[in-house]
Amino acid sequence: MQFESAARSGGGVAAAAAAVAAVDDAGARRPTVGVVLGSGLGAFGDTLARKVPYAEIPGMPQSTVQGHAGNLCLGDVEGVAVACLQGRVHLYEGHGPETVVFGVRLLAALGCRAVLLTNAAGGIAEGFAPGDLMLIVDHLNLTGTSPLLGPNDATVGPRFPDMSRAYDAALCERARVAARARGVALREGVYAGMLGPAYETPAEIRMLRTLGADAVGMSTVPEVLALRHAGVRVGAISCITNLAAGISKTPLDHAEVEATARRTRDAFVGLLGAWIVGVGAEVAP
Ligand code: HPA
């Protein structure tokens, strides 16, 4: 197996220095809370004051996926300084796992103490419906890879990071409180991270259900690994954009994923804003 350059390997936070400088040039306050916006969920980024196109950030990979803008958005949410990746890159685009996590390592390097990840996912659990929001309480890494492969930079984190509490209990509780306050129903479950880009077969979905998955998607897991390695607290919410293969009566397509994400936009943006305010209080120095 070919590893990406040793300079990047495990040392992504250090390698993000030039990227940090580019963000500082934008003149925004250093963030304490980071956010990653998934397929069709980018609208929240437009509520923030400043946008730095990924093309202006050295080393930042560009998403090729429809529905993923390429901007780092910076701003304030009720006094909480936020940095938000409006669009991410995925393993299935052909990027190595380290490239996929460049953006979240940049959020860590900027000073984010917590990062809230969002994604579009297929619903597997009984009773899930398109448009539901699901708090991720744990995951299955079925991508077959990890951004932590290769030499470890012990200044960033340990060789064998603990993943027994990957999704921060206090941040999960903040999400439940925010959802109640906004009157938004929030389901909970386990997210299975797949390589993609093909959607799963019905047999694979039966397998994932047996393994304990409630939802399935093609992102997030590498980001959680990189962030937990670096000691950053993580919370994550899936927008269930479709029922998974074999449960859905119709063939899956990306247009449906985007359309459902757009339909849930207002509930989602409201919940995210309230969650950020709670998380800002949680991680305040
Ligand atoms: N499978 C995998 N990834 C997804 C899905 C799905 O059904 N929906 C949105 N992302």
Residues 215-267: pLDDT tens digits? 999 999 999 999 999 999 999 999 999 999 999 888 888 888 888 888 898 99
| Helix pair angle (102-110, 221-229), 10° resolution | 40
Catalytically active residues, by annotation:
39, 68, 90, 92-93, 120, 218-219, 242, 254
Ligand 1 interacting residues, C-beta cut-off 6 A: 120-122, 194, 199-200, 216-218, 241-242, 244, 252, 257
Q: Is 140 helix (H, G, I), strand (E, B) or coil?
A: strand
The pair of three-digit structure tokens given for residue 118, joined into one six-digit string: 């969002």
Q: What is the mean pLDDT of residues 43-71?
A: 87
Task: Give the CB-side neighbour count of residue 254, counting CA atoms within 13 A.
Answer: 11
Structure confidence at residue 37 as a pLDDT band (50, 70, 90): very high
Is there a cis peptide before residue 197, judged by omega within 30 degrees of 0?
A: yes
Instruction: For residue 6, report the distance from its CA to the centre of ligand 1, in Å.
Output: 33
Q: What percent of the chain has pLDDT over 70?
A: 94
Residue 110 — φ and ψ, nearest 5°? -75, -15
CA 264-269-273 angle, 5° bins = 150
Q: For 78-119, what is each residue's pLDDT tens digit?
A: 999 999 999 999 999 999 999 999 999 999 999 999 999 999
Percent of the chain beyond pLDDT 90?
76
Query: What is the pTM (predicted TM-score) of this model?
Result: 0.93
| Interval 166-203: pLDDT, tens | 999 999 999 999 999 999 999 999 999 999 999 999 99
Terminal Cα distance for the chain, rounded = 41
Q: Domain-by-domain residue ranges, the chain?
A: 3-283
Distance 118 CA to ligand 1 centre (A): 13
Cα–Cα–Cα angle for 103, 37, 279, rounded to 5 degrees: 90
Q: Give me the architecture of the 3-283 domain, per CATH.
A: 3-Layer(aba) Sandwich (3.40)
Tell me the average pLDDT across 42-64.
90
| 55 pLDDT above the threshold of 80 | yes
pLDDT at 64 over 90: no
Cis peptide before 251 (omega within 30 of 0): no
Mutation to probe ligand 1, out of 241, 256, 258, 263 (largest number of atoms < 8 A from CB): 241
| Chain length of the chain | 285
Q: Which two tokens stand for residue 137?
A: 């309480």
Mind giving me the DSSP string for 163-181? -TT-S-HHHHHHHHHHHHH
Q: What was the pLDDT predicted at 8?
A: 41
